[in-house]
Structure 1
Amino acid sequence: MSAHWRPMGPADLPTVERIAEIVHPGYPESPEVPAERLALFPAGCLIARDGNGSVLGYAVSHPGTLGRPPALDSLLGGLPPDADCLYLHDVALLPEARGLGLGESLVDILRDLAGRRGLPALALTAVNRSAPYWRRRGFAVHPGDAALAVKLASYGDDAAYMVITLDRSVHSA
Structure 2
Amino acid sequence: MGEERSQEIESEQAKMHTASAARRWREMVADDLPRVLAIADKCHPDHPEDEAVFRERLELFAGGCCVLEQDGETVGYIICHPATFGHPVPLDTLLGALPDNADVLYIHDISIDLGMRGKGLASEAVDHAKRLARKHDYDRVALVAVNRSQDFWAKHEFMIIADEDIGKALVGYGGASSYMVCDLT
TM over 0.5: yes
Question: Displacement of 1:150 after TM fit?
Answer: 2.2
1:35 matched to which residue of 2?
A: 55
Distance in 2 (alpha carbons) for counterparts of 1:121 and 1:81: 16
Q: Note if contact 1:4-1:102 (Cα within 8 Å) is conserved in structure 2.
A: no
Cα deviation code 1:41-70 (max 9, x no counterpart): 0000010122x1221111110001111011
- The whole-number CA distance in structure 2 between the counterparts of 1:85 and 1:75 is 18
How far does residue 130 in structure 1 lie from its aligned partner after superposition?
0.3
Higher relative contact order (CA 8 A, sep 6+): 1
CA distance in 2, matches of 1:92, 1:105: 12
Paired residues of 2:110 and 2:125 also in contact (CA < 8 A) = no
1:10 and 2:24 matched: no
Which residue does 2:136 correspond to in 1?
117
Contact 2:36–2:74 under 8 Å retained in 1: no
1: CA distance between counterparts of 2:148 and 2:135?
Answer: 31
Q: Gaps (5+ residues) in structure 2?
A: 1-18
| Number of aligned residues | 165
The answer to whether 1:128 aligns with 2:147 is yes
Partner of 2:76: 57
Code of the residue aligned with 1:105 in structure 2: it is E
Summarize deviations over 1:97-133 as a string: whole Å, max 9, x none: 2122212211211111111101110011000010001
Q: TM-score, normalised by structure 2?
A: 0.85
Q: Report the structure number with the largest CA radius of gyration.
A: 2
User: Does residue 69 in structure 1 map to residue 118 in structure 2?
Assistant: no
Consecutive unaligned residues in structure 1, runs of 5 or more: 168-173
Residue 8 of structure 1: how far off its partner (Å): 0.3
User: Aligned partners of 1:142, 1:166: CA distance in 2, in Å?
Assistant: 15
CA distance in 2, matches of 1:4, 1:97: 13
Q: For residue 112 of structure 1, what is the amino acid of its counterpart?
A: R
